[in-house]
Amino acid sequence: MPLALIKKKPKNPDSRKSKSPKKVFNRLFENRLIHRLSHKDYRDTVRKVYDGPQGSFLMACSLLSLHVSLGDRLLRSRKFDVRGAKRILDVGSGAGQIAGHLVRYADSDASITCFDLSPGMVRRAIGRLKSHVPRFVVADLAHLPFADGVFDCVTCGYVLEHLPDPRQGLSELARVMAPGGRMLLLTTEDNFGGAWTSRIWRCRTYNRKELRQLCEELGLSWRKELWFTPMHKVFRAGGICVEIVKHR
C-alpha cells in the first residue's frame, strides 16, 4: 500500500537556514536548471545528457574521482554490509559502478535488479559488466515499476540529486523496500564540491540536516553516516553517504 499521507506540511528541502558567504556562493554557483524546468522537461534533459557523449565518460570520471575504488571499499570492508540481502535494487545504475560491487560482495543466491533512466547507460552497464547476475531495466525513480515491499536492500548512488523534490524518489524507495530493509544512499551535498558537481552534471544539491529530517518523515531512519576515509570525514568531503533503515 502507498505510504500514508503526512498531515503536517513538509519542510521545503530547498530552504537554507545558513546565510554565510560560503553557503551563498555555493548556492549561486549551483546549476539551477533543475529548478527552472518542469519535471518532464528536466527528466528529458537528463536522459539526453547521459545517453550522449557525457554519459559515455561517466565511468572514466568515476575512476578518476576514485568513486569506484572508494565505493568498492565501502562494501568490501562491510561498512555497508550486503551479506544476507536476497533482493537488491541498484538505483540509477549508470555505467554499473555500484552494480559491479554488488556482483562481487552480495550473496551468490541474491537477486540484483538495476535500473536507470537512460537507455544508453543501461546498454553501457550491460556491456561493461558482462555478467548474467544483474537484471537491467529502464525506469524513472519518481515512478518505479516495482511492487510494494519487494526489496530488502537498496543502493542509490548519486541519483537523488536529479529530482527537484527528493520526496518523490524517497517515497518510491520507501514503498518498494520491505520493513527492516536497508539502503545505502549517496547524494551531492550543498558545499563547494557539491556545487561543482551540480555544474558538471546539471543536478541539485541537498542540505544534510534537511534531507535527514525528510527521510525520518517517510519512515526512513539514518542508522549511521558513512565516510569513504577518515580524511573525507575531517574535511566533510565526498557528499552525503548514509546507511538508512526502513521502520518495521
CATH value at residue 151: 3.40.50.150
For residue 30, the enclosing domain spans 21-246
The reported pLDDT for the residue numbered 33 is 80
The reported pLDDT for the residue numbered 36 is 86
- For the entire predicted model, the pTM comes to 0.85
Give the integer Cα–Cα distance in Å for 114 and 136: 5
Residue 149 within any structural domain of the chain: yes
The reported pLDDT for the residue numbered 162 is 93
For residue 102 the three cell numbers come to 554488488
The reported pLDDT for the residue numbered 1 is 41
Mutual angle of helices 166-176 and 208-217, in 10-degree steps: 40
CA distances to 62, 67, 102, 123 from 55, in Å: 11, 16, 21, 11
Residue entry with cell 578518476: 64
The reported pLDDT for the residue numbered 24 is 60
Whether 88 contacts 135, CB under 8 Å: no
Residue 1 within any structural domain of the chain: no
**Domains held by the chain: number:** 1
Residue 200 within any structural domain of the chain: yes
Residue 6 within any structural domain of the chain: no
Chunked in runs of 10, what are the mean pLDDT values of the chain (248 residues)? 42 51 63 83 89 84 85 96 98 95 97 97 95 97 97 97 94 98 96 87 92 98 96 90 94
The reported pLDDT for the residue numbered 46 is 87
The reported pLDDT for the residue numbered 199 is 85
The reported pLDDT for the residue numbered 132 is 95
